[in-house]
């Protein structure tokens, strides 16, 4: 067998030839015996789930002063006093209001058989392709000027692509999430030859100096979600075979703790104020405080649509962005809604295309 395509041909034939549907003696009785005495779950609990990845980009406004034309000298003095006060920590100025910028998402390309990256304005207008190549899991940097994708970062317009260096022999980078100061990334890494080494690594923004943060330990995957706004913790999903749970890791010492027992869909989007972590359970979004309290569901205000993806906070923390599939379709569109589950807005309307890998950046201007 010299041609590689023959492997697929023989594999298909092999499966057909060896598939054995034989029902063993007593097997059905065993199943029925195991289920006969069991109560069914209530509807709200009986839901399905899975485990992808996402995050939300966020930014912290820089103090700004509004110049006055008159009383220039007095104003200069006030600015100097303000600067000294801020520098010494004597007093703080409120951050400038954060403005929601573009939404980035991946769209499956049948030609490429892979993902292409698109941008859209928050109202759904101005949709355009940024990258024609095969890139995955785009995430805005905190200042909204760059994107991380699998194995690289690049400018938000697709230029200035900087691939990551090799992590270690045989190991591969996955999706990456920016730290709040934009100087580091948390990235999934794994090895095809040794599943036991899979985990999350902290790397510099250029992919250098990897430091292990987590080890899955179950031959599954740890997939990073958002960093906390103070940069001290990272939410992540841990797949241990049957489903994924929502966890948090301490960036300083790698200590982990489980936040939500699965099944959870999503690696955790951290609200810009640091108060909530959002994910999906069943067909609802859930929010929980970082200490595990306050768990509650946020229902999506539709009945004709199902299968939402994982939610991600807007930079101003007032809305969630996510993808969602219509009933009976494999093609998801992008939506936003308020964090209380109202004001659903459809961003894309492409019944023949599947859109995923959704993230919301700050307005860099």
Residue 213 beta carbon to another protein: minimum distance, rounded to whole angstroms? 20
Structure tokens at 342: 């109202």
Q: Which residue carries 């003696």 as its tokens?
A: 25
Nearest-approach distance from CB 66 to another protein, in angstroms: 45
First-to-last C-alpha distance (Å) of the chain: 58
Q: Tokens 């992540």 belong to which residue?
A: 236
Taking residue 157's Cβ as centre, other Cβ atoms within 10 Å add up to: 12
Smallest distance from the beta carbon of 258 to another protein, in angstroms? 16
**In whole angstroms, how close is the CB of 115 to another protein at the nearest point?**
5
CA 107 to chain CA centroid, nearest Å: 16
Residue 90 CB, nearest approach to another protein (Å): 48
DSSP string, 215-236: ---SSS-EEEEEEPTTSSEEEE
Query: What does the alpha-carbon distance between residue 157 and residue 223 come to, in Å, rounded to a whole number?
Result: 26
Q: Which CB, 67 or 328, lies closer to another protein? A: 328
Q: Shortest approach of another protein to residue 126 CB, angstroms? A: 24
Distances (CA, A) of 10 to 18, 117, 246: 12, 35, 40
Rank residues 46 and 73 by Cβ distance to another protein and give the closer one.
Answer: 46
Which CB, 67 or 241, lies closer to another protein?
241
Residue located via tokens 């485990």:
51
Nearer to another protein, 20 or 261 (CB): 20
State which residue, 335 or 356, has the beta carbon closest to another protein.
356
Measured from the CB atom, the residue of 244 and 312 that comes closer to another protein is 244
Min dist. Cβ of residue 99 to another protein (A)? 29
Residues 6 or more apart in contact with residue 312 via CB below 8 angstroms = 54, 55, 56, 269, 278, 320, 321, 322, 358, 359, 360
Distance CA 117, CA 106 (A): 5
Coil, helix or strand for 71?
coil
Both structure tokens of 256: 């982990």
Assign residue 58 a region (left: φ > 0; alpha: ψ between -120 and 50; beta: otherwise).
beta
The torsion angles phi and psi of 21, rounded to 5 degrees, stand at -90, 10
**Min CB(169)–another protein separation in Å:** 16
The token pair that represents 138 in the structure block: 């785009």
Q: By CB neighbour count within 10 A (0-12 exposed, 13-18 middle, 19+ buried), where does 245 fall?
A: middle
CB of 260 to another protein, least distance (A): 15
């Amino acid at each position: 067998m010299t041609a590689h395509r023959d492997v697929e041909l023989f594999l298909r034939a092999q499966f057909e030839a060896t598939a054995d549907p034989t029902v063993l003696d007593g097997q059905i009785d065993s199943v029925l015996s195991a289920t006969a005495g069991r109560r069914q779950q209530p509807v709200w609990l009986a839901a399905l789930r899975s485990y992808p990845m996402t995050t939300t980009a966020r930014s912290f406004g820089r103090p700004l002063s509004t110049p006055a034309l008159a009383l220039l000298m007095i104003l200069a003095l006030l600015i100097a006093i303000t600067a000294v006060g801020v520098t010494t920590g004597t007093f703080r100025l409120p951050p400038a209001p954060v403005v929601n910028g573009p939404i980035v998402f991946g769209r499956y390309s049948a030609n490429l058989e892979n993902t292409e990256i698109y941008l859209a304005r928050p109202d759904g207008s101005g949709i355009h392709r940024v990258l024609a190549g095969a890139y995955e899991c785009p995430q805005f940097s905190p200042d909204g000027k760059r994107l991380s994708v699998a194995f690289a970062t690049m400018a938000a317009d697709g230029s200035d692509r900087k691939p990551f260096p090799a992590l270690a022999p045989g190991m591969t980078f996955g999706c990456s999430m920016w730290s709040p100061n934009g100087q580091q990334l948390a990235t999934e890494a794994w090895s095809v030859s040794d599943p036991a080494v899979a985990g999350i690594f902290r790397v510099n923004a250029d992919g250098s100096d990897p430091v292990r943060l987590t080890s899955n330990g179950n031959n599954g995957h740890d997939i990073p979600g958002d960093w906390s706004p103070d940069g001290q913790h990272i939410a992540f999903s841990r797949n241990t075979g049957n489903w994924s749970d929502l966890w948090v890791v301490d960036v300083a010492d790698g200590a982990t703790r489980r936040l939500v027992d699965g099944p959870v869909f999503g690696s955790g989007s951290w609200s810009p104020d640091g108060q909530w972590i959002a994910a999906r359970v069943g067909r609802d979004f859930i929010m929980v405080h970082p200490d595990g309290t306050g768990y509650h569901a946020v229902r999506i205000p539709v009945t004709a649509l199902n299968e939402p993806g994982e939610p991600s906070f807007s930079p101003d923390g007032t809305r969630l962005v996510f993808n969602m599939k219509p009933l009976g379709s494999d093609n998801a569109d992008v939506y936003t809604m308020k964090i209380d589950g109202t004001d659903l807005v459809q961003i894309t309307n492409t019944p023949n295309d599947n859109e995923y890998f959704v993230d919301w950046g700050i307005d860099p201007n």
